[in-house]
Amino acid sequence: MFETLRNALLITLLVVLVYVLYKRVLSALGKDEIKERYVYFTEDSLQDGGSTKIGIETKLAQDLKLSVYKNSGELLTTIHQGSMEQGIHYFDMSEHSLAPGKYYCEMITEKQKDSIYFNIA
């Protein structure tokens, strides 16, 4: 009976030690932190099939690069490159005379990268 209790306690201790080691490794790698995002594509970006506006919301003023690519990965145009003030900014894709097809818009800042896909009919 005491041997079973001892084994159960040893297994519990081992599980706790493994968990503590796991959390320390995550902490050392910075993986346990929730990375706050400071730039977003707005929810109304390309909301319906007829919309060609892409909205960017910035929580802080920062440098940002916004580029449009073909679905194959070929760079077509850079819409914005440089500093962007805090707030919501809209970019109209129809101004760039894109042929019908599939595209994606890539947003790159110093700390994050995001993209949104869209079709031109």
Q: Give the model's pLDDT for residue 30.
A: 67
Q: Which residues contact 82 (CB under 8 A, 6 or more apart)?
A: 63, 64
Unique residue bearing structure tokens 């449009």 = 68
What's domain 39-120's architecture? Sandwich (2.60)
The average pLDDT across 52-73 equals 89
Within the chain, what is the greatest distance between any pair of CA atoms?
80
Region of residue 13 (phi > 0: left; psi between -120 and 50: alpha; otherwise: beta) = alpha
3-state DSSP helix/strand/coil % of the chain, to nearest 5: 25, 40, 30
Q: Give the model's pLDDT for residue 48.
A: 56
- CB atoms inside a 10 Å sphere around CB 54: 22
Residues listed for the chain: 121
pLDDT in tens, 63-100: 999 999 998 999 999 999 999 999 999 888 777 778 88
Q: Give the model's pLDDT for residue 116.
A: 87
What is d(CA 91, CA 115) in angstroms, rounded to the nearest whole number? 14
The average pLDDT across 36-40 equals 77
- Collapsing DSSP to helix, strand or coil, 27 comes out as helix
Q: Give the model's pLDDT for residue 33.
A: 57
Domain boundaries, the chain: 1-33, 39-120
- Give 96's DSSP letter: G
Say which residue, 36 or 28, is predicted with more confidence: 28
